[in-house]
Amino acid sequence: MILGHETSAVVEAVGCEVKHLKVGDRVATEPAVPCERCSYCRSGVYNLCPDIACHATPPYHGTLVKYFLHRAAYAFKVPDSVDNEEAAMIEPLSVAVHSCKRSGVTVGSRVLITGAGPIGIYTLMAARAYGATRVVLTDINEERLKLARELGADQTILVTKELSEEELVAKVKEAFGDGEQPDISLECSGAPSCSRLVLLATKSGGVAIQVGLGPPNVSLPIADAAIREVTILGAFRYKDCFPTAVAMAASGKLNLKALASHRFDFKDCLEAYKVAKSGAGMKVIIKVTE
């Protein structure tokens, strides 16, 4: 199984009917190509297509190769102001764009993000771009929270074993001040405790969206969420978010590079995966060359 789905590439050849790309263009590739025929595809929610073919999702190989064939409509040209590393981050940024759009983050939103890993940080950037006026992140790692603050988080909460769930909810409320609570909470860690926290901490009538994927079954405070009318949403990948993410990267207002913690040549892939597995740093970049 060849891995790799967060990818930028250079166009080497195009089919005769491809009009929007030419040889030499640099592109970000949307890894999941849907069937374009089923009811989900036809109604615009192509991320839910049962026949979607996604890079590095069995049985489909990923992009950690010198050459790969890709449907042109799912390759997005990036401008000169977006370099190859940033272009490879269009994919995770699209995850953030999708969850912000789906949960309704807009001008004035007060937002809680649980998890300050790459998706949590990209979600911070996207929420800011969509006009959120207060963004608070939680994590168990102070280094990651420091990066979140540097990249625009208003406040961060370090989650420790000593904190009870009640204390944590109180800390979130405190972070939003004046008896306020988040309008929208985006769960980006996959930790079961965070899936609980976003339901408990979101204001009555607010929205909690599950972006992170952890264990398949989690115990949730569902009665509390129900009687307070917290809307619970799921999120899966993205649909039609790459153009927005490319435009956001091209604006120069996001510090996407801040997440590139390690860089490796293709020949040192194994080392790159060891670093990624260790949890050190954020984004590990592998450069495939001749």
Name the residues that contact Zn ion, by CB under 5 A. 34-35, 38, 41, 49
Rounded least distance, CB 165 to Zn ion, Å: 40
Measured from the CB atom, is 50 or 252 closer to Zn ion? 50
Cβ-closest position to Zn ion: 49
Measured from the CB atom, is 35 or 53 closer to Zn ion? 35
DSSP annotation string for the chain: -----SEEEE-----TT--S--TT-EEEE--EE--SSSHHHHTT-GGG-TT-EETTSTTS--S-SS-----GGGEEE--TTS-HHHHHTHHHHHHHHHHHHHHT--TT-EEEEE--SHHHHHHHHHHHHTT-SEEEEEES-HHHHHHHHHTT-SEEEE--TTS-HHHHHHHHHHHH-TT---SEEEE-S--HHHHHHHHHHSPTT-EEEE-S---S-----HHHHHHTT-EEEE--S-SS-HHHHHHHHHTT-S-GGGGEEEEEEGGGHHHHHHHHHHT-SSEEEEE---
Measured from the CB atom, is 47 or 99 closer to Zn ion? 47
- How many CA atoms does the CB half-sphere of 163 hold within 13 Å? 17
Rounded least distance, CB 40 to Zn ion, Å: 5
Measured from the CB atom, is 72 or 276 closer to Zn ion? 72
| Side chain identity at residue 22, one-letter code | K
Measured from the CB atom, is 134 or 239 closer to Zn ion? 239
Measured from the CB atom, is 42 or 253 closer to Zn ion? 42
Rounded least distance, CB 48 to Zn ion, Å: 8
Rounded least distance, CB 55 to Zn ion, Å: 17
Residue 114, both tokens = 């649980």
Rounded least distance, CB 44 to Zn ion, Å: 11
Rounded least distance, CB 8 to Zn ion, Å: 26
Measured from the CB atom, is 43 or 289 closer to Zn ion? 43
Rounded least distance, CB 54 to Zn ion, Å: 12
Q: How far is CA 7 from the centre of its chain?
A: 14
